[in-house]
Amino acid sequence: MAKKSLIYTRTGDKGKTSLVGGTRVSKTHIRLEAYGTVDELNSQLGLLYTYLMEEEDRKLILWVQHKLFSVGSYLATDQENTTLRIESQIADEDILRLEQAIDEADSQVCRTVCRRAERRILSMAGECEVTENVSAFVNRLSDYLFVLARKMNLLANTDEIYWDKSCI
């Protein structure tokens, strides 16, 4: 019988964790904030996926989830000590695919988590090198999620909520 990997290792009990490549950092490090928020976004997208009715939307969200695994891996790799894997990179074509989907198609909760992930990534970029494609991909994703939410409202015959400026 093959030995199973343990979920718990006890190596993080004192507030440190390992990046890809083994570098140990504090669990409050900006890098963990960035990829942790991307992970949260990915979970929210999994929930959004269950509400989508059109197969094309479901396929795109599934693709985005896989790309967010790449973004998370990119952000979790200390490139000063570890070579970045090819599957951890975001290509120009990935950004273009989201731009094309924006033109056609939000889930507001996913969009706001995505915007927070973008802020965390930009904060991290102030301390560590982050390729422009990673932040561009997350930025386009938030635009796509905004448009997708509008589409979902339209398909459900639900009115959008607009700011009522007369309430002041």
The CA-based angle 73-75-78, given to 5 degrees, is: 95
The residue written with tokens 């309430």 in the block is: 167
Residue from 148, 161, 166, 154 nearest 64 by CA: 148
Whole-model pTM over 0.75: no
CA distance 98 to 91: 12
pLDDT of residue 26: 86
Helix (H, G, I), strand (E, B) or coil at 2: coil
pLDDT of residue 106: 44
Mean per-residue pLDDT pooled into runs of 10, the chain (168 residues): 70 82 88 91 91 90 93 91 90 88 62 87 90 90 85 74 65
CA distance 25 to 31: 9
**Cross-strand bridge partners of residue 20:** 77
CA distance 67 to 25: 24
Phi-psi region of 17 (alpha: psi -120 to 50; beta: other; left: phi over 0): beta
Provide the total of helices (H) and of strands (E) in the chain, helices listed first: 5, 2
Q: Phi first, then psi: give them for residue 77, nearest 5 degrees.
A: -100, 120
